[in-house]
Structure 1
Amino acid sequence: MAETSDVLVERDGSGIVTVTLNRPAVKNSVRPSGWTELTRIFDEIAGRADDRVVALTGAGGDFCSGADLRAAGGEEPPGRGMRRVNAALLALRDLPQPTIAAVRGAAVGAGFNMALACDLAIAEETARFSQIFSRRGLSVDFGGTWFLTHMVGLHRAKELAFFGRILSAREVHALGLLNRVVPEGQALAQALAWARELLGLAPLALSQTKELLNLAASGTFHDSVLREATAQHLNGTSDDTREAIQAFLEKRQPVFGNHRRATET
């Protein structure tokens, strides 16, 4: 385990990386340097072929309470703080590996949207969520305007953003913003179980499927099917697909060794 001031990164040797926000005394709120640290960590993961699935969680009893407002602002030039925030968001969103949020306790403000930025989100039944920005004199950030509008529709997005009410995990699940609600203490265990299941899938094809789905949310139908054709062609030249088909024919589990195309040396 490699420890930083704000974040823990643990690799279990199988390809699963667990990234843990590590400021439990302040409900894992993120100070300015923390956004930079998250960007560095996500960028490192993106470049490692042996990192196959990412689980994102928080230390102690909470996921993330958003930006640490006590440490925000200061003498920074206008805009620099949000550049840090957006860099972390884009590094997380653009990871080629699938990401799973394991939420317990508070997930509010940017913490709520951090869970939405992951590909899958699991929350404990005692978790609580809020787009709390309006109650702090702020507008929504960390991609929340995009996530909410695309995931729940404009009118519900405005209700969540305007009022900033505290919502239970069950309420958030009913809105379609969570994949699963699990008993208290089980979110990370369920996330890791899903991560192990994802390890059994072809990493190249899984990464491409993630990108195709993300792009489909803002593109046309024709754009999507053209991208599908390009991705499928790449799959057809990959060791991943060759191994998956051979394993199917031999009635065994596939073993994926790398992400390289078959034509590469």
Structure 2
Amino acid sequence: MSEVLSETVAAGVVQITMNRPERRNALDRKSYAGLIAALAAAETDAEIRAILLTGAGGCFTSGNDIKDFASAAAAGEAPRAAIDFLEAIATATKPIVAAVEGFAVGIGTTMLLHCDLAFAARSATFRLPFVTLGLCPEGGSSYLLPLAAGQKKAAELLMLGEAFAAETAAAAGLVNAVVEDGTALEAGLAKAKALAALPPESLALTKMLMKRGTAQAVAETIATEARHFGERLSSPEAVAAFAAFLKK
């Protein structure tokens, strides 16, 4: 079974689905490779004008696969696959629409900061548990979340690492709207179709201009966070947190 599915679901729209439902779509190195490849294929396909990102089995993603991360940390490896994916989604030129059901944890939340539109089911649950895992923010979130949500709300979400509801995600600028359970994909597809019907060069230019002012800062933040994140992976705090998590 492929960890990532990619299929054209409407004229000009490719749907990329995180597909490890037995693990609540937790992302391991193979998953990241699949996501990077799917994004690259969409970027180079002239027929594709919008990307729809979702998760299988009624769940967006429960975040990084802790078992995979723990093994990488034990081997002294940096989380390069995750960083490569974050860089790919941050620099994508075509519009990306996210449809969130179930859990959006860790990178499942931070990747939304790089999506152009996002829709969440009413019962969706978000969480940024980096500090509680002995880690630090990633994906440019330490820069982008304060811009979107304000400094105080970003501090609450990133420092405390508590779960929060779809309404809070909307208020923090992570999603455009909250929709009824089971309809996030439908809402996302409708907007992806609308984007795909627009003049593609004008759309790409608009996205570039909107990101132009922060692109360098985002790239620098992703790189800086990644360095610290890699160091934190082998820290006593993270090792203890991973061990406690895997005992559950």
Q: TM bucket by the smaller chain?
A: 0.7 to 0.9
After superposition, the Cα gap between the structure-2 partners of 1:10 and 1:212, relative to the gap in structure 1 and judged at 3 Å, is same
Q: Is the 8 A contact 1:113 1:147 kept in 2?
A: no
1:80 corresponds to: 78
Q: Secondary structure at the match of 2:182?
A: coil
Structure 1 residue 167 corresponds to structure 2 residue 164: yes
Q: Deviations over 1:132-185 (max 9, x none)?
A: 112222111122212212212223212111101111101111222210110001
1:14 corresponds to: 11
Structure 1 residue 79: deviation in Å?
A: 5.0
Q: Percent identity?
A: 35
Q: Secondary structure at the match of 1:74?
A: helix
After superposition, the Cα gap between the structure-2 partners of 1:120 and 1:202, relative to the gap in structure 1 and judged at 3 Å, is same
Q: Is the 8 A contact 2:54 2:185 kept in 1?
A: yes
Structure 1 residue 114: deviation in Å?
A: 1.6
Structure 1 residue 64 corresponds to structure 2 residue 73: no
1:203 corresponds to: 200
5+ residue gaps, structure 2, are 217-248
The two structures have a TM-score, normalised by structure 2, of 0.82
5+ residue gaps, structure 1, are 220-265
Structure number with higher relative contact order (C-alpha < 8 Å, ≥ 6 residues apart): 2
The two structures have a TM-score, normalised by structure 1, of 0.77
Q: Secondary structure at the match of 2:68?
A: coil
2:153 corresponds to: 156
Match of 1:93 among 84, 90, 93: 90
Q: Is the 8 A contact 1:103 1:115 kept in 2?
A: no
Q: Is the 8 A contact 1:128 1:166 kept in 2?
A: yes
2:35 corresponds to: 38
Q: Deviations over 1:100-134 (max 9, x none)?
A: 00000100111111222211110010101111112
Q: Is the 8 A contact 1:103 1:123 kept in 2?
A: yes
Q: Is the 8 A contact 1:150 1:217 kept in 2?
A: no
Q: When the two structures are aligned, how many residues end up with a matched partner? A: 216
Q: Deviations over 1:166-211 (max 9, x none)?
A: 1110111122221011000110001111111112211011011111
